[in-house]
Each structure stands twice: as C-alpha cells, then as structure tokens.
Amino acid sequence: MRNKAAFKNPDEFYFGMVHTKMVGGVHQKKVDNSVSGDELKKFKKDDATYVAMKHQMESRKVEKLRANLHGISKLEGAPQNKRIIFVDPPPKKQRSAVARPSSSQADGSNEPLEDVDMGVMQSLRTPAVTPASRAASKKADKVSAKAEKKLAARYSELKQREQRQAKLAQVMQRISQERALIGKGRRKKLRTKQGQ
C-alpha cells in the first residue's frame, strides 16, 4: 500500500473526488441538503393535500359511526325482553268446588268458604323453570354480553377517530400557516381585537 501511494499520479482523477473535500487530512463528503423555495412550496402543497384527504376520510368514517351508534343508543335504554310464561289459574267455580267445607260451616254458619289451594295457585303464579329455559337464559346472557362488548368497542373506535380527526385538523392549520409564510408578499402579524 505504501509503495502504491508513493507512486500515485498527482493528476489522477476520480468522479468521487467531486463530492468530497479534505478536512484535516480526512476525506469528507459534501452534503448539499438545501432545498429551493419552489421545491419547498411543492412539498408543503403535497403535504397539505395529503393531510386534507386523510382528514376528509376520517370525518366520513366518524359520521358513519355516529349514524350507526345513534340508532343503537336509542335501543340501549330499552329493557331486554324475556319470555316468562304464566299459566292462568283455574276458574273460580272449579276452585270453590275443590274446596271442602270446614267443620265450622257444617254447623250452619254463614262465613264464606276460604279457598284452599294447597300450593297449587302459588305454583301457577311462578314462572316454570326448566333446564331448557335455563340454557336459553344463559345463551341470551352471553349474546347480550357480546353485544355490549361490541358496542363498547364501537364507541371506543369513535372516540379514537374523533381524536385523530382533531389532530389532522391541527396539522392542516399548521401546514397552511407554513405555506402562507413561504409564499410571496410581506408577512403580517395578525392581532385579535384584544391586542394580543
């Protein structure tokens, strides 16, 4: 290597030398990152167009979600329907025929007969609970839990999309200000009525 360096032609030229310079005996590449004003305007315009498109997409999605959730939220307060089957009690004539006269009525007193139902009426008033109805109620509970979970996920998605839409609106405003500053003409500082 030393021998090769000693016999190097001083007029030797490589195109890579155009982009490098010697600083303290070390080759360093020249970096030209300067962007012209026209290119910067074009970049800002492209950025503004892209952000505006994304903002419009988000706003459409938010509107769709709101429309769907608006209809669902009305149904949210309504109670869930459950099927409970009540068996009608037998007519009063049949109940009085079933009742036996007590010893006090055999004496000839005019006291009204008491209805003796022996628990029959109580069993008729309570809903019949069968294994099939229990399974159906468990299944209905699972379905309602899934529906509530989906609804919560939709509301969460709506909230996230609204936040994203607000951020995109802020970015659009900032980019439009930067574009205005890059543009031609004199810069004016705007003040509010309060003088801030």
Res. 164: pLDDT tops 90: yes
Please tell me the distance from the alpha carbon of residue 65 to that of residue 155, in angstroms, as a whole number: 8
Mean pLDDT is highest, among 44-48, 65-69, 93-97, for 44-48
Please tell me the distance from the alpha carbon of residue 74 to that of residue 145, in angstroms, as a whole number: 18
Q: Which residues in 26-49 are b (16+ Cβ under 10 Å) and which e?
A: eeeeeeeeeeeeeeeeeebeebbe
Q: Are 73 and 87 in contact (CB under 8 A)?
A: no
- The better pLDDT of the pair 26, 53 is held by 53
Q: Pairing between strand 26-29 and 20-23? A: antiparallel
Q: Are 49 and 179 in contact (CB under 8 A)?
A: no
Q: Give the model confidence (pLDDT) of 89-125 as tens digits.
A: 777 766 555 555 555 555 555 555 555 555 555 555 5
Domain boundaries along the sequence of the chain: 36-71+130-180
